[in-house]
Amino acid sequence: MKNRPTASTAALLALPLMLTASLPAQAATIVASAFAAQAIPSAPVDASLNLVNGDFTILANPAAGPGHVTGDGVDETTRWTFDFSSHPEYAAALADGHIVEARLSFRLATQFFIAGVGPWTDITFATDGTSGVFPGWVIPEFLSGTLGTWQMGSISTDLIANVGVNGTELFNYMASRGGQLPFQYGDDAVVGFAQLTLVTAPVPEPAAWMMLGLGLLPLAWRRGGVKAA
């Protein structure tokens, strides 16, 4: 029985070491932004053509039908890429391997209102158009106005907490592209500004859990030994 306090003390002394071993990296915050040349494109183009608007490319939509153009914020898909690679904390974020918060902010302009509200059933998600289709953030109808009159506003959400995006999958998608995170917005607003703030955090490494297991083994053996004696 005398050995018991000694074994417990050893475990207590080892605990901070094991916790330290499970935190090899520190949390980091990285930010990337995309800017439009014009909040409202002054010269829309034929619906068969793309329109490059600063960091945003508004895609052609020939299927939209007669009367449609690219750049009027009606029935069109916008693509851009968030580039985190030059952020000062990018290397620290890479060492973490996991995203715990993904705060996406937009400034949007639309003239497409139904029953006085918009944007109408718009959605945004991370994708390069062929892969990485994450759960989409359905933009709430946060603007009010009348059809044909432009209105502008800003909106923001956390894709992890509120949209259900998996933080490890999002991290892997970005890291595998050298810090580039492609995005898409559709389809009844002009994206004037977009910003994504990623907060990363360390995930416990398998090695740390192994150390934890190995650290407890002698303790269990000792306690068993005491009982047998």
Name the site residues for Ca ion (rule: CB under 5 A). 68, 72, 74-76
- To the nearest whole angstrom, how small is the minimum distance from the Cβ of residue 25 to Ca ion? 45
Which CB sits closer to Ca ion, 68 or 98?
68
Q: How far apart are CA 88 and CA 28, in angstroms?
A: 10
Q: How far apart are CA 98 and CA 110, in angstroms?
A: 35
- To the nearest whole angstrom, how small is the minimum distance from the Cβ of residue 65 to Ca ion? 10
Which CB sits closer to Ca ion, 68 or 103?
68
Q: Which helix (H) or strand (E) holds 19?
A: helix 3-21
- To the nearest whole angstrom, how small is the minimum distance from the Cβ of residue 168 to Ca ion? 36
Orientation angle between helical segments 3-21 and 206-228, nearest 10 degrees: 180
Query: 96, 24 in Cβ contact below 8 A?
Result: no
Which CB sits closer to Ca ion, 55 or 76?
76
Which CB sits closer to Ca ion, 75 or 128?
75
- To the nearest whole angstrom, how small is the minimum distance from the Cβ of residue 75 to Ca ion? 5
Q: What is the DSSP letter of 60?
A: P
Q: How far apart are CA 7 and CA 142, in angstroms?
A: 61
